[in-house]
Every structure is written in C-alpha cells, then in structure tokens.
Structure 1
Amino acid sequence: MNLGIISAIAYGILAIIGGIIGYSQAQSKVSLISGIVSGVLLILGGVMQLQGQAWGLILATVVTAVLVIVFAVRLAKTRKFMPAGLMSVLGLVTLAVMIQQLVVRV
C-alpha cells in the first residue's frame, strides 16, 4: 500500500466526517450529501488503486482537486480557517502526494 492510497482513503474519511459534522451543526443537507459523495468517491479511488486499477488514482486526484477549489473559494468568502482552511491545506497535501504518484507511474 503506497502513500497515494492512504492519502485518498484518509481524505475521503475526513470528507465524510466533515459532511456529517456540517449537517449536525448547521442542518446543511448540502454538506452531508457532498461530503458523503466526495468521500465515497475518494475511498473508491483508493480501493481501486489498491487493486491495481490506474483509474483509481486519477479519480481520487480529480475529486481532491475539485474539493481543494471548493474549499479555497469557501475560505476566501468566509475568512474562517475551520473547516474550509483545514480541508484546503489537507487537500493540497493529498493532491501533492497523488500528483507525485501519477508522475512516478508515467
């Protein structure tokens, strides 16, 4: 198991937990749905990488990039580090690991 797989699954779990917290605190169904959908896609990408499927890394990278953009825009609007800033920073770290894995594969 490489670092790309671990980071995809870990970021997916964080996205799901964040969606659940967003729903429990603000009754935001959008947070719940988007957190679960993006988290499941990230975990799916990690599992597919684990099974040797190259598209799993691509899926996880694309989902992570979209989440980084979404949270960066949210951070710019709210100027609050939690949760947008934290998820942006963690997403950038995850994205860097995934891009490094993509470069190594090519």
Structure 2
Amino acid sequence: MNPGTIAAIAYGILAIIGGIMGYSQAQSKVSLISGSISGLLLILGGVMLLQGQEWGLILATVVTAVLVIVFAIRLAKTRKFMPAGLMTLLGLITLAVMSQQLVALV
C-alpha cells in the first residue's frame, strides 16, 4: 500500500467523521451529507488505487482539491482554525502526498 492510498483513505475517514461531528454539534445536515459523500468518494478512490485502478488517484485528488478550496474559503470567512483550518491543512498535506504518486503516473 503506497502513501497516496493511505492519504486518500485517511482523509476520507476524517471527512466522514467531520460531517458527523458537524451534524451532532450544530445539527447541520449539509455537513453530514457533504462529509459523507466526499469521504466515501475519497475512500472509493483509495480502494480503486489498491486494486490498481489509476483513475482512483485522479478521483481522490480532485475531491481533495475541491475540499481544500471549500475549507480555505470557510477559513477566510470564519477565521476559526477548527474545523476549516485543520481540514485545509490536512487536505494540503494529502494533496502533496498524492501529487508525488500522480507525477509518477505521468
């Protein structure tokens, strides 16, 4: 299992947990739905990578990039590190790990 796969699955799990926490703390159905969908897509990308499907890396990279943008915008609006800052930081780290593998594919 390579680092890109681990990063995609780990960030997916964090997205799901974050969605559940957003729902439990603020009754935000949007957090629950978006966290679940994005997390499941990231986990799907990681599983596809495990099976040798290169498109899984592309899926995970795109979903991570979108999440980084969304959370960076939220961080700029709220100026609160939790959860937007943390998810932005972890998303950037995930993108860095996955980009190394993406470059190797090209």
Give the TM-score taking structure 1 as reference length: 0.99
Please state whether the residue corresponding to 1:4 is helix, strand or coil. Answer: helix
Q: Give, in angstroms, the shift of residue 98 of structure 1.
A: 0.8
Partner of 1:12: 12
Gaps of 5+ in 2: none
Trace 1:81-92 onto structure 2 (pairs within 5 A). Answer: 81-92=81-92
Partner of 1:63: 63
Q: Which amino acid aligns with 1:99?
A: S
Identity %: 85
Does residue 73 of structure 1 match 2:70? no
Give the TM-score taking structure 2 as reference length: 0.99
Trace 1:44-63 onto structure 2 (pairs within 5 A). Answer: 44-63=44-63
1:48-101 Cα offsets, whole Å, 9 max, x none, are: 000000000000000000000000000000000000000000000000111111
Which whole-Å CA distance do the structure 2 matches of 1:65 and 1:100 have between them?
15
RMSD: 0.3
Partner of 2:37: 37
Gaps of 5+ in 1: none
Which whole-Å CA distance do the structure 2 matches of 1:37 and 1:25 have between them?
19
